[in-house]
Chain A
Amino acid sequence: MTTVRRRRTREFVEPPITWESIIERAQANQEPDWLIELRQAAWAQYQAMPMPTLKDESWRRTDYSHINWDSAGIITIDENPDIASIPAANRAPLIGDEQGALLAWVNGTVAGQELNPRLAEQGIIFTDLHTACHEYPDLVRDNLFQKAMTPNEGKFAALNAAGWTHGLFVYIPKNTRVELPLHSIFYQHSGATLGHVLVVVDRGAEVTVLQEYLSPEGEEHTGYIGGTELIVGNGANLRYVSLQAWGHNMYEFSHGRGHVMRDGQLDWVVGSMGSKLTKSFMQIALDGEGAWGRMSGMFFADGNQLLDHDTFQVHNQPNTTSDLLFKSALKDEAHSVWRGMIRVMPGAIKTDGFQANNNMLISSTARADSIPGLEIEADDVRCTHAATIGKMEEEYIFYLMTRGVPRIEAERLFTNGYFWDVLERIPFEDVQNRLLADVDRKILGHHNQ
């Protein structure tokens, strides 16, 4: 018997976002001319690019044609944001009882802002991007869509550059070691927003930033089109933790890029638990000799979620080191995709690149695609990768159960252990526990859809 596979014609349409609405908001915000020009140039690039489809290599496994842009594409900005809509656990201080810095947005509008006087005295800037464009125009202009992420990276990168609705701006002055963590939350209850994160760590400075993405569960599709730029100066050190716990009705399309200069270090950890669909491009560009970059990720998809990450470790200079560890667990009909590329540019000798991707299938209907890649154009380099896709093995669960632990608890213990090597890279115990609680909820099957 032969089966005939019918291919449905899929439509990948643009969201109903117009230049008129962008310029209207920009004028209402009294944005400076240089910023409006930046938006306009990006809009032109956006218009010149087609919507990605399953025919594009990096979108082959990312069918988003079922998105309802009539809700997920309607930019929705809160006039009177309520900080209380963000769960209190997410707003609590990260270490002990002392708040370092907290900035929280609700649908594109700042809803709460705290900055510990100890940090303010150090001269750090921790503010929203609109304010920064007015108060620190040179700093922003030198960095925004200049050194890390650029609009030409893709359709959604261009859309983010043209239409970003809100953003975080962090600047850490030279040789400043920030003792307390900086914490930012993008909360979104409906519609679409376009958030942007710009972190600039000047030479010899050191900081830890936690960026959270949250939305409640709901029926109507919501959309987030994001951008992240992490600029790490000579000898600077940035630990950046980005956690996504969107409701299962969210569609996220985002681009992020780290630009690491000579002897700089970027330790980037991402955790994704929520959304209906996440398509995220992440790149670390090692742009100075001796630069070091690490990307770690933990993903737990259940229900019919698709968590899809494209990572790039780009060695542009000699003696650079990159490391990647992405781990996923998949339950129900969930699907994860990881495509990872280590690229060593000509002349980037004595580089060391590593990538590992592990996927654990908790149910037989879940699916993981793992596509490692190496492109090496320099001599004398060491690049390796490892990818695994496996089931949650009964031998392990049985062993744990023989000590009296019920099956569900054994699965929970095993999965917590599986994620631990990524989790321990998040320097906040409360945040680790929050993520473990998310894992537990998914194992126990208490998610809403």
Chain B
Amino acid sequence: MGATLEIRNLHVSINDTPILKGVNLTINQGETHALMGPNGSGKSTLAYALMGHPAYTVDSGEVIFDGVDMLELEADERSRLGLFLAFQYPVAVPGVTVANFLRSAINARRKSENPEDPGITIPDFRRLLKNKMDLLGIDHKFAGRYLNEGFSGGEKKRNEVLQLATLEPKIGILDETDSGLDIDALRIVADGVNKLKGPQLGILVITHYKRMLEYLQPSFVHMIMDGQIVESGGPELADEIEEYGYKPFFAKHGVEATED
């Protein structure tokens, strides 16, 4: 049986301002879910809180992943259990190459399972990374570049997908991976994610717009407003949002309209 990410009645605040006000959501390995919502509804907060960003305070609720209480764990431990976050705005880290970083990440996983593990050999790692880059259609030169330094918007997002592919998590959260991309760049990134889809990967796609979803075809669509999931359904929910925007939903759920 695959892993499950269960979010139960999650309340999260930033600097004492409540942002998430009781989120419930369950994602199984192998499923693709979409989380849509207007700006300021708490989409990215959910992503960061799930990953354990220290600036986000969990006030109450539970996050259970593969039977483990995630809220007690640091970000690196969550990652090693099989949770992944593709950042909306990944930071640039000068002097650290993509390859060096990914090798450190793989070795950290191996070492946590067995402290005696000498780490992946350089030839094995090169082969692994090359295969992943080929799968995603990424130039091999990419491996020698400094992490996100001087990357275009599209390259940053492809780098996130490369990391997703290499680390092989059980659940991957894509935080507005479509933002800032033109239609061609979006297609390349979405194609990459599609190649990784399968029974071993559960995906939560966080997005403001439907266009990413046309490629990724989620089976489950959720809508978040004012820190709560207010609607859950199938792909038809995304169509409805696309057609009417968030406006009708504000009224329906008694939420004060923000910009949509």
Contacts and interface: CB of A to CB of B under 8 A. Distances in A.
Contact of B105 (A404, A418, A421): A404
A437 to B, nearest CB: 16
A402 B164 CA distance: 11
Given A403-B105, A404-B108, A396 B91 contact: yes
Given A398-B53, A398-B54, A405 B94 contact: no
Given A394-B54, A400-B101, A413-B101, A405 B91 contact: no
Most buried by A among B55, B76, B84, B109: B76
A417 interface: yes
Contacts of A403: 76, 79, 101-102, 105, 108, 163, 167
A405 B146 contact: no
Contacts of A401: 74-76, 79
A115 to B, nearest CB: 35
Contact of A399 (B54, B55, B91): B91
Interface string A403-421: 1111101100110111111
Given A416-B95, A417-B96, A421-B94, A404 B101 contact: no
Interface residues of A, number: 24
B130 interface: no
Interface string B92-135: 01111000111011001100100000000000000000000000
Given A398-B54, A413-B101, A417-B146, A405 B76 contact: yes
A421 to B, nearest CB: 6
Nearest to A410: B76
B105 A405 contact: yes
B203 interface: no
B87 interface: yes
Given A404-B105, A405-B108, A409-B104, A418 B94 contact: yes
Interface of B: 51-55, 74-76, 78-80, 84-85, 87, 90-91, 93-96, 100-102, 104-105, 108-109, 112, 146-147, 163, 167
23 contacts: A394-B54, A395-B91, A396-B93, A398-B75, A400-B93, A401-B74, A402-B78, A403-B167, A404-B76, A404-B80, A404-B109, A405-B76, A406-B76, A406-B108, A407-B76, A410-B76, A413-B93, A413-B104, A416-B96, A417-B93, A417-B94, A418-B94, A420-B94
Interface of A: 393-396, 398-407, 409-410, 413-414, 416-421
